[in-house]
Each structure stands twice: as structure tokens, then as C-alpha cells.
């Protein structure tokens, strides 16, 4: 009968892809802290003598900011980079004592949190620079500030071309005592894709910094490099670099000659097989019946869906690994479950483990390939992984057998 259901209970004598380290969840995000640390060491060696500032904003790109920062702290980063004061305050509560830089604009109401958590702040305009200074001075405190220069990104920062106009104003604000200048920096808009534009942005940064110094302002550090720029020409390293996606296993093949080796995979998204069923030819699968079996097929239902961060766009185009065998997604990705065709992976049973992102045996669903199939970028893939998935930490100090939160 078309669509006949055949549920196969688990066989306790075998688990195709289950190990003693697998946590008891329907789905989870596994984070390899040892691989993370090795990626960071490669980057730190490559950019030396420049210091590195690991970007742990957005909960360390979804991998867990406190755990990631704790794993990287022994490597001696200059600071950690976050986007908002609450992110920085969370690191402080997690025991991180190193410098923390807030790179997104802070509202006036967030200045007390900056001070309480001993955070450093970016200033993206003369107005924000003055606001930070006034707020700190009112609290009889002082905030280290990192001044952003707009060299072509177009979204924020003091315009490099107008440095002669704003440099004296910056010097005046510094003289009032509420802020100190910790660095001057810019954002590259196409590092790794447009060398000419990146070189031009660097020139603009240097020229603006020269004007600022002529106004009597001392600049402790210049910085501009994200992961792509850090893996490129050493001229972009300056005093600090701000790697993000490279640390977490992204941007493979993006480095220039002499760049560090491609990063190791850090994240694995895994889900259990909830049940296995046999479908006759002509059976439809999932909402909208967007897939119809052309032959007898065996489908496994995985305990993961778009509410967990598995993109809906992977419907009928994504894949998973079970026992090192690639199995295609069939039908639409649902909110809580997803079906895969295991006809070519004999022996799959309920409670086996599928890998949606990362390595399983000799095969891998690489971050870049996952992003391409989903029609997005590596950054979004990681940051979109839902909080419903427990984070399971392996390979690092403090990563317990469960190691999850």
C-alpha cells in the first residue's frame, strides 16, 4: 500500500553512529574546544607580533561566548570583542577578566553597564564620543574608547576624508578626562575579495591617523583586519587583528600564500533518528508534498527542524551524514523534524545519530557547503543555530562528559 508505515524500534545491540560521548538529546550542537584553540594558535602565530582580539559577539557566533572565551583566554589575546554591553557583562559574570571591547554603538542608558562591567567602547561618531565622555565624567570614571574611521564601509565611523575637521574635536573631547583613546580602527568591506579596495581603505586609515596625531592625539593601536584580511597581506595586521569566523572553522581556502592552514571544523550539528519507515513508490513527504518517491524508499525522521536553526531552504537540497554515508533531505524541513533518505545507508535504526553539519567518519558537511546549499553565508549558519539545541563541549578543559548548557 502506498505510503505504508513501518516503524523500526531501536536494536540495543548496535548503534551505527553512537559513541559513549554522545549526549542524551534529540539534537545538539557539538563544539570542539580543542579545534577552536588550535585555530586560534595558528592565527596568533601568523599575525605576530600583532596581538589578536577574538570576536565572541553573538554568543561567539552561536557556539557559547563564555565557554569559547574561557578556552581562548590561556592563549593571551589582547582583548575579546563583543557587540553590546550585555554581551560584555555576560563574559564578566562568566569570570573573564581580560579586556572586553564593545564594537557596536552603546546607548546613553548603557553607559552605567559599561562602567560597572569594566568594558571598553567603540565610538562611531563625534556625538557618540562626546556622549561616552560626558557619561563617564559624570560618574567620575574613565572609559577606554576605540575610535572607528569610515574608510569605505559607509555604515558608521568618522569619515576619513574629513579628518582635518574632526581631529581637533577628538583632541578636545580627550582633554576633558572622561575617556582615553585605546585604538583607532576601521572595517574592511571586501577583505579577501577585492585587494585593491582593501589596500585603499588601509591607506585612508593611515592618512586619517596621521591627521589625528598631528592634532596631538596619541594612538596606541591601529587595527583593521578581520579573518580574511588577517590571512592576507601582512600589511593589514597593524597592531591588532580581529578574527572571528576563521576561529570557528569558516573561510577555508581564503588565505593567501603564507597564510595559516585552513581552519579545523569546530561545530557539529547532530540529531538522532527518531524512527525509520519504508515508503512505496508514489508516496509524498512533508508539508506541501514537495517530494514524491520515485521508487521504494526508506526514510529516517530526524529530531531537528528549522526551529533549531536548520534552514528551511535545505528542503529537498540539503544532506546529512549517517555512519559516514551521505543521505539527502527529502521534502520540506519542518519546525521540529526533518526526513532523510537512508535507502543507501543500510542498517539505520532509531536512536542512531545523523550529522547535519561537520564531520562523520571520513565525510564532512563543511560549513561553506552547508551555507551554499542554504543560500546564505557561513556567519549566518552558525549564529542562526537555535537555543533549543543544547551546546555540548568536547576537547577542552572543563568540557565534561555532558559538558552542555
Catalytic residues: 57, 287
321 membership: H or E segment, kind and range: strand 319-322
Q: What sign does the CA torsion over 22, 357, 62, 258 have?
A: positive
All residues at 6 or more sequence positions from 339 whose CB lies less than 8 Å from its CB, including other chains: 285, 286, 299, 300, 301, 302, 329, 330, 331
Distance (Å, whole) CA 63 – CA 94: 15
Distance (Å, whole) CA 103 – CA 242: 11
What is the bridge-based pairing of β-strands 240-241 and 222-225?
A: parallel
Please check whether residue 184 is in contact with residue 174, taking contact to mean a CB–CB distance below 8 angstroms.
Answer: no
Distance (Å, whole) CA 233 – CA 255: 9
Count of beta carbons in the 10 Å neighbourhood of residue 397: 11
Q: What sign does the CA torsion over 161, 166, 167, 170 have?
A: negative
Place of cell 564594537: 103
CA angle 338, 342, 346 (to 5 degrees): 145
Amino acid at each position: 500500500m502506498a505510503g505504508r508505515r513501518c516503524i523500526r524500534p531501536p536494536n540495543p545491540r548496535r548503534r551505527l553512529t553512537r559513541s559513549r560521548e554522545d549526549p542524551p538529546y534529540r539534537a545538539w550542537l557539538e563544539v570542539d574546544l580543542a579545534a577552536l584553540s588550535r585555530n586560534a594558535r595558528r592565527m596568533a602565530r601568523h599575525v605576530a607580533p600583532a596581538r589578536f582580539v577574538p570576536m565572541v559577539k553573538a554568543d561567539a557566533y552561536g557556539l557559547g561566548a563564555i565557554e569559547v572565551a574561557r578556552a581562548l583566554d590561556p592563549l593571551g589575546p589582547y582583548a575579546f570583542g563583543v557587540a553590546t554591553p550585555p554581551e560584555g557583562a555576560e563574559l564578566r559574570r562568566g569570570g573573564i577578566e581580560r579586556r572586553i571591547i564593545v564594537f557596536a554603538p552603546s546607548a546613553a542608558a548603557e553607559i552605567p553597564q559599561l562602567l560597572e562591567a569594566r568594558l571598553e567602547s567603540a565610538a562611531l561618531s563625534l556625538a557618540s564620543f562626546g556622549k561616552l565622555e560626558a557619561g563617564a565624567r559624570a560618574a567620575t570614571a574613565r572609559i577606554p574608547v576605540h575610535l572607528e574611521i569610515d574608510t569605505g564601509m559607509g555604515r558608521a565611523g568618522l569619515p576619513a576624508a574629513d579628518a582635518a575637521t574632526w581631529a581637533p574635536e577628538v583632541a578636545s573631547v580627550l582633554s576633558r578626562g572622561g575617556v582615553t583613546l585605546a585604538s583607532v580602527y576601521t572595517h574592511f568591506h571586501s577583505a579577501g575579495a577585492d585587494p585593491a579596495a582593501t589596500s585603499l581603505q588601509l591607506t585612508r586609515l593611515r592618512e586619517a591617523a596621521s591627521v589625528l596625531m598631528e592634532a596631538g592625539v596619541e594612538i596606541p593601536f591601529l587595527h583593521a583586519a578581520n579573518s580574511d584580511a588577517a590571512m592576507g597581506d601582512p600589511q593589514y595586521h597593524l597592531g591588532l587583528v580581529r578574527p572571528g569566523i576563521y576561529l570557528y572553522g569558516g573561510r577555508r581556502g581564503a588565505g593567501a600564500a603564507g597564510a595559516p592552514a585552513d581552519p579545523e571544523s569546530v561545530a557539529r550539528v547532530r540529531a538522532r533518528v527518531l524512527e525509520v519507515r519504508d515508503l512505496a513508490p508514489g508516496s509524498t513527504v512533508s508539508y506541501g508534498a514537495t517530494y514524491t518517491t520515485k521508487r521504494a524508499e526508506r526514510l529516517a525522521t530526524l529530531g531537528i527542524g528549522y526551529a533549531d536553526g536548520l534552514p528551511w531552504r535545505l528542503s529537498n537540497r540539503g544532506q546529512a551524514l549517517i555512519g559516514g554515508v551521505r543521505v539527502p533531505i527529502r521534502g520540506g524541513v519542518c519546525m521540529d523534524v526533518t526526513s532523510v533518505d537512508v535507502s543507501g545507508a543500510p542498517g539505520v535504526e532509531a536512536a542512531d545519530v545523523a550529522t547535519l553539519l561537520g564531520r562523520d567518519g571520513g565525510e564532512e558537511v563543511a560549513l561553506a557547503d552547508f551555507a551554499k546549499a542554504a543560500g546564505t553565508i557561513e556567519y549566518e549558519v552558525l549564529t542562526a543555530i537555535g537555543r533549543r539545541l543544547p551546546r555540548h563541549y568536547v576537547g577542552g578543559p572543563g568540557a565534561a562528559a555532558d559538558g552542555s548548557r
